[in-house]
Chains A and B, each alone.
Chain A
Amino acid sequence: MKVRSVRVNNHKRTFEVRLAGRVLDYPFARCTPAPGADDAVVEAHPDPEMAAGGFAYELASGRCGAVHVEEVLEYHRDPAHMRELLLYKLTLEAQRRMDSCGLSRREIIRRLGTSPAQFYRLLDATNHRKSVDGMLSLLHALGCNVELVINGRHNTSDSH
């Protein structure tokens, strides 16, 4: 995902980051170095060094900083981004369990009732198009019990 443009909102003390089809705020307080009243932002722009996958800014003091677009998405808990992180964690766990489960790949594919190509797609950590459902099936085929823990965003009480 690329940053189209960045605006500085000194009133809200945020960067307004324009992505494809939306604008997300990112507070100065989360930036390092943090802009302040005595060290204002003099320039902010999509960072060509990051292939516009983030933005860079310069303060009046001459100090520079940068923010990656994934930090912005993570701050806003973007659903698509959070899903991608969850898929990644499930994939890593499946890869670890593959080595310790004692089952052959052929047996796992048989248990899944799927094709070898689909099985290897599930094990590919860079594949973000697979489903969480598919990953859960794979983990069950590997003999794992999967339990979901859902945490509230602002409290620590769990619900299952």
Chain B
Amino acid sequence: MTKIRRGGYVFISWVGDQSPRHVHVYRDGRFVVLIRRLEGDGLL
């Protein structure tokens, strides 16, 4: 799993056995967004 801190945000990603891509974003200990939701909404 990769954990990257940028600009106060924490990006958590990993390569799972299953699609879709998993990227979770947190800020100040709170869940912000799941990147796959952005994909689902056509934003990525």
Contact = CB atoms under 8 A, between A and B. Distances in A.
Interface string B16-44: 11111010101001110000110111100
A126 B35 CA distance: 11
Contacts of A92: 20, 39-40
Nearest to B13: A68
Contact of B26 (A50, A70, A71, A88): A50
Contacts, number: 59
A146 to B, nearest CB: 18
Given A53-B31, A66-B3, A71-B1, A89 B19 contact: yes
Contact of A68 (B22, B36, B40): B22
Contact of A49 (B16, B29, B40): B29
Contacts of A67: 1
Chain B residues touching A, majority SS: mixed
Chain A residues touching B, majority SS: helix
A50 B12 contact: yes
Interface in A85-112: 85, 88-89, 91-92, 95
Interface residues of B, number: 22
A51 B26 contact: yes
Closest 7 CB pairs of A and B: A125-B40, A49-B10, A48-B29, A74-B16, A66-B3, A51-B31, A85-B18
23 contacts: A48-B29, A49-B26, A49-B29, A50-B12, A50-B31, A51-B26, A53-B24, A53-B26, A68-B1, A68-B12, A68-B22, A71-B1, A71-B16, A85-B20, A88-B20, A91-B40, A92-B39, A95-B40, A95-B42, A125-B36, A125-B37, A125-B40, A126-B37
